[in-house]
């Protein structure tokens, strides 16, 4: 687990983006993932409300082992945490903050990034063992809100802004203290070709390099 945490920290420091592949199909996940990794983004997430998500995560875990951290998003309960572990998922991302989900992920040797909107949720998530805080929906947490939360949370706490982040507003969020970003539609939308995803991923990578 220590090795996974260290890898997560290093990858997030080198390129602070989690690519959210909502809607991806298993038969395209390898090509899409390769395009994103080639652009320099090495943390990938398939939300569980995608078509056959466990199959996609299993393919990613097999194909990208040692090159990327792969995980599941929109994980709402402990049963799905267990299923994600069986696929080889290394990261559990949720839109909400449930201590039982966080603890199940940690007990399973996986990283946990729960969704939080308030300082109370963020502190409770960290107390439950979360490795990073997902500030979600990002549209409801402007840069001023990120700055205010950064002022009270532990300095080592990682805060990822997810939702509404674009190449235009990302620098402002980063200046406010965001550790990283979960990027969905601005990198991948269902039906995008690998070439289209590559171009969008490179735009974020160049902005953050």
Residues with active-site annotation: 45, 134
**What are the residues whose beta carbons fall under 8 Å from the beta carbon of 56, sequence distance 6 or more?**
21, 24, 25, 26, 29, 46, 50
Rounded CA separation 10/98 (Å) = 26
Residues in the chain: 209
Rounded CA separation 174/108 (Å) = 31
The answer to whether the beta carbons of residues 141 and 135 sit under 8 Å apart is yes
What are the structure tokens assigned to 63, written together? Answer: 């194909």
The answer to whether the beta carbons of residues 24 and 32 sit under 8 Å apart is yes
Nearest to 182 by CA among 5, 45, 39, 11: 45
What are the structure tokens assigned to 59, written together? Answer: 């393919």
Nearest to 187 by CA among 200, 169, 178, 176: 200
């Amino acid at each position: 687990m220590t090795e996974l945490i260290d890898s997560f920290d290093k990858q997030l420091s080198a390129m602070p983006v989690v690519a959210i592949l909502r809607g991806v199909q298993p038969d395209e996940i390898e090509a899409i993932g390769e395009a994103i990794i080639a652009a320099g983004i090495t943390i990938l997430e398939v939300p569980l409300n995608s078509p056959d998500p466990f199959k996609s995560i299993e393919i990613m875990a097999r194909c990208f082992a040692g090159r990327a951290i792969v995980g599941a998003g929109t994980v709402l309960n402990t049963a799905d945490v267990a299923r994600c572990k069986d696929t080889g998922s290394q990261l559990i991302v949720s839109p909400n903050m449930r201590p039982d989900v966080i603890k199940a992920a940690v007990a399973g040797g996986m990283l946990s990034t729960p969704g939080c909107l308030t300082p109370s949720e963020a502190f409770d998530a960290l107390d439950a063992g979360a490795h990073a805080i997902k500030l979600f929906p990002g549209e409801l947490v402007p840069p001023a809100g990120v700055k205010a939360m950064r002022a009270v949370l532990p300095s080592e706490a990682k805060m990822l802004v997810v939702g509404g982040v674009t190449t235009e507003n990302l620098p402002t969020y980063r200046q406010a203290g965001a550790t990283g970003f979960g990027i969905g539609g601005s990198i991948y939308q269902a039906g995008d070709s690998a070439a289209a995803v590559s171009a969008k991923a490179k735009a974020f990578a160049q902005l953050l390099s």
